[in-house]
Structure 1
Amino acid sequence: MTAPTRPRIGFSTNIWDNPAEIVEHLEFLAGHFTDIEFEIAEEAQEVLFGADGPEYERIVDGMRHVIDKHGLDVSVHAAWYGPHTDLVSPDERERAESISYLRRAVHLAADLNVQRVTYHPGYMSRRPNDVLLDVLRSSLDRVQPLLSRTGVQLCIENMGANRPRYVVFSPEEHVELCRSTGTWMTLDVPHLATVHLPRGDYDEALAMVAPYVRTAHIADIKGADHTHIPIGEGDFDLWGSLETLGTYGFDGAAVVEEFAKGYQPEQYLEAALDFRRRWDAEGARLRGEG
């Protein structure tokens, strides 16, 4: 009997506030995880987007060396905070700049020979979701030729509750977007929980989006509070959610991502390593290896 599919536990560079020492930090995380998400934000964004040609090539060469040496599975998270991160902006100039930032993330992924780029859709502006989806499709149309040339998979991240600036699409809207654009999804599991646990349809929402998931973000939460905390500090059934994703065939990276005030990066790291040890041990048992 074949063992069930199981996601792999990974880690994001954003837990350490996206340090400017991009290559060095990737090397540090490679000592703990083989599945890593590189996030273009904060200090790392300033360094990467501020680099001239030779400096950019030096950074990329260093990252490729670490990826190849450790056999890493790396994904890229596009810029998501601050100017030029609104793909549904009503301002055409801002939207064009945001598309340019997304294209830069895709170029980086291609330069690193990695396959997946996660992006945020943008911000609310008193327009209904059907209008925002049309604008988002239009933005993605301008990235599609680059995706076709590079083979990079573009993945929308679902937003969570209690952050009214961000666009929150329904599971049905996410599925329709993925189908109509040939793109995919980064499932932020805590985000999905904050929206759908209070509604009582979390299991249904998870089942609907699961076939389109190429990367997952994970953390713990308390109740349905939108605060990503170290695994084990809350009361969320993350284990069960990952097992459910596995039943739908997802065996990709489930990356510990986003941090909360009051906790230290080392707490997220130790909690993730402990969770992964138990998760992998259970996987080995199910395969008959234990």
Structure 2
Amino acid sequence: MPLRFGYGTNGLADLRLDDALALLADLGYDGVGLTLDHMHLDPLAPDVAARTRRLAQRLDTLGLQVTVETGARYVLDPRRKHGPSLLDPDPDDRARRVDLLIRAVRIAADLGAHAVHCFSGITPPETGPETAWHRLADALTPVLDAATTADIPLAVEPEPGHLLATLADFHRLRHLLGDPAHLGLTLDIGHCQCLEPLSPADCVHAAAPWLRHVQIEDMRRGIHEHLPFGEGEIDFPSVLAALRANRYQGLTVVELPRHSHAGPHFAELSLPFLHRAAATATRSPVPVPPPHGDPSATPEGSTP
């Protein structure tokens, strides 16, 4: 099965949503990673249901698949980046983030999306790790209930610097929640290069049973900076070969939010790069996936 590539709207923030979608369709992308935000599809707008219906029709007309992403910086709080989070000390603040994620699940169901992406947030000051983990599990429980009802996977992303930073942390959450069927994983390939003990390709193999969404960009070891393809250290043919070998069926979405000022340029360059890397992977022998399971090490940056 061929891989399906998308581009994130957080990397096209200066374009109207319809213009961004038309651009991606014209360039040949298979889908879009749709970040719910004020400039595109505002999840808090009073007419969001009607706008979602129109968007679903537009995606169908353009032949674009979609994954819903929830990483907008200031959609809930104009003064706090990614605030409030699922880990905030104030239960009312946590409830605002939970409400956003449940709204995202409903929007994803109406769009026929592959998954809803989310992340844990940064552990607040003076909050112990056990308290943070239990807050995260409690906050995600109603979101998972909504995802189960809608039959939409909730794909949690390990994010450097967050409570849930690594694959090992994802497995901690999975076990804490009792391994619910609709809890999945967003794997950011750059984050694997940044801090995982395994190579990005081996991360794909290890994560395959839970993999519901993939974000992709270049990155260097130890530096959390999303880079255009070719400016980092990642071996992309091996990563794409691993996705293919594990029959990954979701979208692989280019994630370049800090390059949004030149989003159309990078969107145009990124898809041919990925197609060339995928062709190289196809010509190479398909690797035999190692046994799936939890990573054997908890690297620096993870919560012990």
TM-score, length of structure 2 as denominator length: 0.78
1:60-82 deviations in whole A, cap 9, x for unaligned? 23211222123322110024423
Inter-partner Cα distance in structure 2 for 1:201 and 1:132: 28
Given the superposition, is the C-alpha separation of residues 269 and 79 from structure 1 closer, same or farther in structure 2, using an over 3 Å criterion? closer
1:216-235 maps to which residues of 2 (within 5 A)? 216-235=214-233
2:88 maps to 89
2:106 maps to 107
Given the superposition, is the C-alpha separation of residues 35 and 259 from structure 1 closer, same or farther in structure 2, using an over 3 Å criterion? same
- Give the secondary structure class of the aligned counterpart of 1:192: helix
1:7-64 deviations in whole A, cap 9, x for unaligned? 3222111111264x3233223222221121111135226xx245323xx344223211
- Give the secondary structure class of the aligned counterpart of 2:220: coil
2:10 maps to 14
AA aligned opposite 2:157:
E
Task: Determine which of 1, 12, 22 is the counterpart of 1:27.
Answer: 22
Correspondence 1:60 to 2:58: no
Report if aligned partners of 1:174, 1:209 keep a CA contact under 8 Å in 2: no
Inter-partner Cα distance in structure 2 for 1:131 and 1:243: 39
AA aligned opposite 1:30:
A
Q: Which has the larger displacement, 221-230 or 258-267? A: 258-267
Inter-partner Cα distance in structure 2 for 1:145 and 1:262: 34
2:136 maps to 136
1:145-160 maps to which residues of 2 (within 5 A)? 145-160=145-160
Given the superposition, is the C-alpha separation of residues 202 and 75 from structure 1 closer, same or farther in structure 2, using an over 3 Å criterion? closer
Task: Determine which of 32, 35, 43 is the counterpart of 1:36.
Answer: 32
- Give the secondary structure class of the aligned counterpart of 2:39: helix
Inter-partner Cα distance in structure 1 for 2:200 and 2:210: 16
2:269 maps to 271
Inter-partner Cα distance in structure 1 for 2:120 and 2:72: 9
Task: Determine which of 63, 72, 80 is the counterpart of 1:71.
Answer: 63
Report if aligned partners of 1:175, 1:209 keep a CA contact under 8 Å in 2: no
1:108-158 deviations in whole A, cap 9, x for unaligned? 111212231001211212444443232211111112332222111111011
TM-score, length of structure 1 as denominator length: 0.81
Report if aligned partners of 1:18, 1:39 keep a CA contact under 8 Å in 2: no
Inter-partner Cα distance in structure 2 for 1:77 and 1:25: 16
AA aligned opposite 1:72:
L
AA aligned opposite 1:70:
L
Inter-partner Cα distance in structure 1 for 2:44 and 2:239: 39
Q: CA deviation at 1:263?
A: 7.1
Higher helix fraction: Structure 1 or Structure 2? 1
- Give the secondary structure class of the aligned counterpart of 2:192: helix
Which consecutive residues of structure 2, in runs of 5 or more, have no partner in the other structure?
78-82, 286-304
Report if aligned partners of 1:30, 1:72 keep a CA contact under 8 Å in 2: yes
Report if aligned partners of 1:34, 1:70 keep a CA contact under 8 Å in 2: no
Inter-partner Cα distance in structure 2 for 1:51 and 1:44: 11
Given the superposition, is the C-alpha separation of residues 211 and 52 from structure 1 closer, same or farther in structure 2, using an over 3 Å criterion? same
Report if aligned partners of 2:87, 2:135 keep a CA contact under 8 Å in 1: yes
1:184-195 maps to which residues of 2 (within 5 A)? 184-195=184-195
AA aligned opposite 1:28:
L
AA aligned opposite 1:92:
P
Correspondence 1:208 to 2:206: yes
Sequence identity, in percent? 23
Report if aligned partners of 1:18, 1:42 keep a CA contact under 8 Å in 2: no
Which consecutive residues of structure 1, in runs of 5 or more, have no partner in the other structure?
none
Cα RMSD (Å): 2.8
Q: Which has the larger displacement, 240-249 or 103-112? A: 240-249
1:152-176 deviations in whole A, cap 9, x for unaligned? 111101102xxx4x32433223124
- Give the secondary structure class of the aligned counterpart of 2:257: coil
